[in-house]
Amino acid sequence: MRSIHVNRVYGLLRQYDRRYYISYGGRRSGKSVAFSQLLVRRALDYPGRKIMVFRKVGTTTRHSTWPRYKAAVDEAVGLENCTIRQVDKEIWLPNGSTIGFGALDDAEKTKSFEGFTDYHIEEATEVVESDFDTLDAGLSTPCEPQPSIWLSFNPIPITENYQHWLQERFLGMEHELDIPSANETAVVLRTWFRSNKWCPEETIRLFESYRESNPELWEMWGLGLFTKLKGAILRDWDIVKAVPDHARFLGYSIDWGYAADPAAVVAVWQYRREIWVQQKIYQAELTNPDLSEGMKAVGIEKFSDIVADSAEPKSIEELRRFGWLIRGVRKSGQQYKRSVAMYLRGLRIHVLEDSPDLVRECSAWSWKQDKEGRVLPLVADGNDHLIDALVYRVYRPGGTIDEKELEATGSKIEPLPRSMITSEVAAL
C-alpha cells in the first residue's frame, strides 16, 4: 500500500470510531478529497468493506465523486491493481473491498441498498432528511469499525427562522474551526480554505478579498458558516423537476474556465418572461478536448446551437474544428455585469433540480457592500460561472451584451434604494 497525503486536519478524524462523520465548511477546503482518501484507506485497512458514495442526482457523479475516488484509489494502491467497472461505476480493491456510486433522486431506491458498511453523502445539503433516515435505518451490517455515514457539504444561505436539518441534527454541539468535536455518535469538523495546503494562491487571494468587499460571502465561503446573505440579486427564482412542454429550447451556452474557475455549460429554455436552465457541466481543469468529450457524454449533439464568451476565440475555433456549431457573444460596456443583473431580476428563473452548483450560485449571487454595510449597484466578485453562461444565452443571444441598453445608474456609485434589494435568500 502506498502512502496517502491527507491534509493534516482531516487526518485527525482517524482517531474516532463513530456512526456519523460530518465535515463542512468553506469552499476549496479540501473536505471532499479528504473524505475520499480516508474512506479508501478504511477500505484497504479492513478487507471486505463495502462503501457506497452518494450524490442527490446520479448525473452529477460523472464529474465529481467518480473521478475523485478513482484518484484516491490510484494514490493509495494504483488503479492497475484494481478492477474498475466504468459502466456500473464500481471499484473493486485487491483485498475484496468495494466502492460503489449511487443517487438519492428516487425515494424508493434508497430502501433497496443492503449489505453496505459505509456511506459517503457528498453535498449533503441537497439531500432531504427522509432519504437520510431511510439510509441510516438500513445501515446495519455487523463490522469493525462500526458502520458509518460520512457527510460532506458547504453551508448554504439561510433565512430568518430557518435551519437546515443538518444544522439541527448534527451541528448543535460546540465546535471550533479546524478542531474535531465529538459526542457519543458523531464527530464534527468545520474547515476553511486555509485547511487545504493545496488551495491555489489565486483562490486564497479571492477569498481574502471578501473580508471587506462582501462580509457575508466571507463568512459562508471563507469561514464555512451558515449565513444570511444581504443584498441577494435574484428575487424570483425556484427549483423545479422538469421543463414544461410549452417552453421553447434556446440552446446551450458555455462560460470558459480551466484552473481555479470551472468550465460551465448550461441548457436553456424560454416561455415569455420565464426561463428554465439546467447545469450540464461544471468542472475545473478541462482542456477544450476534455470539454468536447464532456459535452458529448452529457448528451449534447454537435448540431446544437451553442453560444460562448467571445473573449476566447481560440477556444471557440478549437471546438468548431471538433465539429461543434458554436458562436461567440461579445460583452460591451464597463458596467455590463450590473446591467445583466438588472435584466435577470426581471425574469422568472426556474432551475432544474439536478443543477446543484447553479442552485448555489443563484443563492449567493449578490451586490457589493460598502464599509458601512450599504448595498451598492455593483455585482460582488465570486462564483457566477453558470450564471454567466445563462446570460450569454438569454441576453441578446448571439449578439452584443450592451449595458447602455438598460437604464444607467450614473457614474457615481450610490447605495441601492431599499426597493431594489432582496434582503433574504430563499430557503433551500
> In the chain, how many domains are there?
2
What amino acid occupies position 114? E
Does residue 371 form part of some domain? yes
305 and 410 together in one domain? yes
139 and 264 together in one domain? no
Task: Give the pLDDT band of residue 117 (cuts 50, 70, 90).
Answer: very high
What pLDDT is stored for residue 346 in this prediction? 81
Task: Taking residues 113-135, report their average pLDDT.
Answer: 90
Spatial separation of the C-alpha atoms in residues 303 and 315, rounded to whole Å = 18
Task: Taking residues 38-63, report their average pLDDT.
Answer: 90
| Residue in 353, 369, 379, 168 with CA at minimum distance from that of residue 277 | 353
Of these ranges, 18-22, 240-244, 350-354, 367-371, the one predicted with the greatest mean pLDDT is 18-22
Spatial separation of the C-alpha atoms in residues 427 and 318, rounded to whole Å = 41
The residue from 139, 170, 195 where one domain ends is 195
144 and 286 together in one domain? no
- On the question of pLDDT at 179 being above 80, the answer is yes
Instruction: Give pLDDT tens digits for 245-256.
Output: 999 999 999 999
Does residue 288 form part of some domain? yes
What pLDDT is stored for residue 354 in this prediction? 85
What pLDDT is stored for residue 405 in this prediction? 41
Provide the CATH number for the domain around residue 273: 3.30.420.280
Spatial separation of the C-alpha atoms in residues 322 and 126, rounded to whole Å = 35
Spatial separation of the C-alpha atoms in residues 279 and 358, rounded to whole Å = 6
244 and 178 together in one domain? no
Does residue 38 form part of some domain? yes
389 and 267 together in one domain? yes
The answer to whether 351 and 57 have CB atoms below 8 angstroms apart is no
Task: Give the pLDDT band of residue 422 (cuts 50, 70, 90).
Answer: very low
What pLDDT is stored for residue 228 in this prediction? 73
The residues near 83 (Cβ < 8 Å, ≥ 6 apart) are: 90, 91, 92
The answer to whether 310 and 235 have CB atoms below 8 angstroms apart is no
268 and 398 together in one domain? yes
More confident residue, 84 or 419: 84
- On the question of pLDDT at 338 being above 60, the answer is yes
What pLDDT is stored for residue 312 in this prediction? 92
Task: Taking residues 201-208, report their average pLDDT.
Answer: 91
More confident residue, 160 or 87: 87
Strands 50-55 and 20-25, bridge-based pairing: unpaired
The three-class DSSP label of residue 399 is coil
Strands 306-309 and 326-332, bridge-based pairing: parallel
Instruction: Give pLDDT tens digits for 398-421.
Output: 344 444 443 333 334 444 444 444
Task: Taking residues 109-115, report their average pLDDT.
Answer: 73
pTM, entire model: 0.66
169 and 274 together in one domain? no
- On the question of pLDDT at 155 being above 60, the answer is yes
245 and 189 together in one domain? no
45 and 177 together in one domain? yes
Task: Give the pLDDT band of residue 170 (cuts 50, 70, 90).
Answer: very high
Does residue 227 form part of some domain? no
- 50's grid cell: 463495502
Does residue 322 form part of some domain? yes
The three-class DSSP label of residue 4 is coil
The residue from 195, 225, 257 where one domain ends is 195
Q: Which residues pair with 422 in a beta bridge?
A: 232
What pLDDT is stored for residue 124 in this prediction? 93
What amino acid occupies position 201? E
Does residue 256 form part of some domain? yes
Q: What is the mean pLDDT of the chain?
A: 85
The residue from 136, 169, 195 where one domain ends is 195
Spatial separation of the C-alpha atoms in residues 355 and 351, rounded to whole Å = 7
Domain carrying residue 289: 237-420
Instruction: Give pLDDT tens digits for 251-283.
Output: 999 999 887 788 999 999 999 889 999 999 998
Instruction: Give pLDDT tens digits for 66-78.
Output: 999 999 999 999 9
158 and 254 together in one domain? no
186 and 264 together in one domain? no
Spatial separation of the C-alpha atoms in residues 49 and 361, rounded to whole Å = 37
Provide the CATH number for the domain around residue 183: 3.40.50.300
Instruction: Give pLDDT tens digits for 302-318.
Output: 999 999 988 899 999 99
Does residue 211 form part of some domain? no
Does residue 203 form part of some domain? no
Task: Taking residues 382-406, report their average pLDDT.
Answer: 67
33 and 85 together in one domain? yes
